[in-house]
């Protein structure tokens, strides 16, 4: 259970809040590159409790500025892109990508009024088919080059807007046990009623094995976040699930399978679950760089119920049904929840670093270090390597910082390192 103060501290993301200020130290994907084109040069965006307008100038530069024109507040998502920036639809004031007003056609010749007019503006950059925003203090860190944003291949992205706080979405990644219940048991119950035989059988064979009984879970803190490990069914510590596990990149990304799953705080009660998927090229295939599909997907069926007939849909359902902001003052955590207790401590600790004027973890400023970040992920093949595990296949994992034996020994929270 958390105090109400701590629940607020970890969940509220508006300007000036501890979590909002921590989140402002990271780059967040806010759109697909293909969403901004000649037909649609602007996009309204809401991120960390702020409304913004994203645009691409006629010269191809990205701008991310406050939405209302400084003159008489017309929304700039109706602006016209020009080489220098975006021109307001109402009286033609022109703003560059830094939010500086550079033209006021109705003011007298020689007026310097425009020099005094500047909109709030943030940085926007593109990588891997996505457009990212940075809303924190300058100088901005480098946009992290996570492996599947950078590897050659075929990428695609989906975005699902969810009516709930970001943390209950992301805590799911520190909660391995949900797989055997939410996906195997509930998911099986849903799928076996809703799906035709072939799809049902496929689901049962695939998900039943992945959702086998958990015997042990462990979490290791790394400099980029957390590695999550589990022992399920009759697996041993030499199996990928334990030996490699998969990473949770601080503060809000799951790197799992062929995906990066971002849980982006739109505001206190809305989250964008943005998933970038990647496939390595087969012989004769070419990368789709410059044309990465981006699809907005609804979280709901037509009857208003949450979509629960696929694995991520079940996750999303579980997140939303906890309420707009989950009440952690009355929750009852058990030994299987050690991962999320550890993660909450990390969040609190990293927010404190920002409050004390420091730089939080997983922020990059050295281009050599940021060239590409390749992560261990169970059952994955890597370019240049035969088989799975790639550069990580022979590693011996160190002892988890937090480990729970689910057969009765209980949580070893005391091992959590300070």
* Residues in contact with ligand FES by the rule CB under 6 A: 69, 71-72, 74, 88, 90-93
Which tokens hold the place of 113? Answer: 């009024």
Please name which of 77, 67, 66, 73 lies closest in space to residue 120, comparing C-alpha atoms. Answer: 66
Long-range contact pairs involving 328-333 (C-beta distance under 8 Å, separation at least 24): 328/1, 328/2, 328/6, 328/7, 328/10, 329/1, 329/2, 329/3, 329/4, 329/7, 330/1, 331/1, 331/2, 332/1, 333/1
Smallest gap, in angstroms, from Cβ of residue 303 to Fe ion?
A: 23
Smallest gap, in angstroms, from Cβ of residue 73 to ligand FES?
A: 6
Count of positions on this chain that bind Fe ion (CB under 5 A)? 1
> What are phi and psi for residue 53, nearest 5 degrees?
-120, 125
Q: Smaller CB distance to ligand FES: residue 52 or 338?
A: 52
Q: Give which of Fe ion, ligand FES, none residue 90 binds (C-beta under 5 to 8 Å, depending on kind).
A: ligand FES
CB atoms within 10 A of CB 112: 7
Smallest gap, in angstroms, from Cβ of residue 85 to Fe ion?
A: 43
175 contacts Fe ion (rule: CB under 5 A):
no
Which tokens hold the place of 263? Answer: 């849980």
Q: Smaller CB distance to Fe ion: residue 267 or 315?
A: 315
Handedness of CA 16, 20, 22, 24 (dihedral sign): negative
Q: Smaller CB distance to ligand FES: residue 68 or 204?
A: 68
Smallest gap, in angstroms, from Cβ of residue 100 to Fe ion?
A: 45
Which residues in 288-327 contact Fe ion (CB under 5 A)?
Answer: 315
Smallest gap, in angstroms, from Cβ of residue 183 to Fe ion?
A: 6
Strands (E), 13-129: 27-32, 42-47, 50-56, 62-65, 80-82, 85-87, 94-95, 101-103, 121-127
User: Are 137 and 159 within 8 A, CB to CB?
Assistant: no
Q: Give which of ligand FES, Fe ion, none residue 315 binds (C-beta under 5 to 8 Å, depending on kind).
A: Fe ion
- Assign 63 to helix, strand or coil: strand
Q: Give which of Fe ion, ligand FES, none residue 58 binds (C-beta under 5 to 8 Å, depending on kind).
A: none
Q: Smaller CB distance to ligand FES: residue 69 or 226?
A: 69
Smallest gap, in angstroms, from Cβ of residue 104 to ligand FES?
A: 8
Q: Smaller CB distance to ligand FES: residue 104 or 256?
A: 104
Task: Give the binding site for Fe ion (CB under 5 A).
Answer: 315
């Amino acid at each position: 259970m958390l105090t109400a103060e701590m629940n607020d501290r970890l969940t509220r993301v508006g300007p000036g809040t501890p979590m909002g200020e921590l989140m402002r130290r990271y780059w967040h994907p806010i759109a697909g590159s293909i969403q901004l084109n000649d037909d649609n040069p602007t996009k309204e965006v809401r991120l960390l409790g702020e409304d913004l307008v994203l645009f691409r100038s006629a010269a191809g530069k990205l701008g991310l500025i406050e939405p209302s024109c400084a003159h008489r507040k017309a929304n700039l998502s109706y602006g016209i892109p020009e080489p220098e920036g975006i021109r307001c639809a109402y009286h033609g004031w022109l703003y560059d990508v830094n939010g500086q007003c550079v033209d006021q056609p109705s003011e007298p010749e020689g007026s310097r009024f425009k020099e005094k007019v500047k909109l709030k503006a943030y940085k926007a950059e593109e990588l891997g088919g996505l457009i990212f925003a940075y809303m924190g203090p300058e100088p901005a860190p480098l946009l992290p080059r996570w492996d599947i944003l950078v590897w050659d291949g075929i990428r695609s992205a989906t975005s699902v807007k969810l009516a709930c706080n970001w943390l209950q979405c992301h805590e799911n990644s520190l909660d391995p046990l949900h797989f055997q219940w939410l996906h195997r048991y509930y998911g099986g119950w849903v799928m076996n009623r809703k799906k035709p035989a072939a799809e049902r059988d496929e689901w049962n064979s695939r998900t039943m094995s992945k959702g086998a009984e958990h015997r042990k879970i462990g979490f290791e803190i790394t400099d980029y976040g957390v590695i999550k490990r589990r022992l399920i069914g009759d697996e041993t510590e030499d199996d990928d699930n334990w030996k490699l596990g998969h990473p949770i990149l601080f503060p809000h990304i799951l790197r799992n399978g062929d995906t990066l799953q971002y849980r982006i705080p739109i505001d206190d009660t809305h989250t964008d679950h943005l998933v970038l998927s990647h496939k390595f090229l087969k012989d004769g295939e070419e990368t789709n760089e410059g044309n990465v599909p981006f699809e907005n997907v609804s979280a709901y069926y037509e009857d208003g119920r949450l979509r629960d007939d696929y694995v991520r849909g079940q996750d999303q359902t579980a997140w939303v049904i906890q309420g707009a902001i989950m009440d952690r003052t009355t929750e009852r955590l058990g030994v299987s929840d050690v991962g999320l207790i550890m993660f909450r401590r990390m969040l609190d600790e990293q927010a404190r670093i920002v409050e004390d004027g420091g730089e939080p973890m997983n922020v990059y400023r050295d281009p050599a270090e940021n060239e590409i970040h390749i992560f261990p992920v169970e059952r994955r093949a890597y370019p240049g390597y035969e088989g799975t595990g790639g550069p990580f296949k022979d590693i011996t994992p160190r002892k988890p910082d937090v480990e729970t034996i689910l057969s009765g020994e209980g949580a070893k929270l005391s091992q959590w390192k300070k």
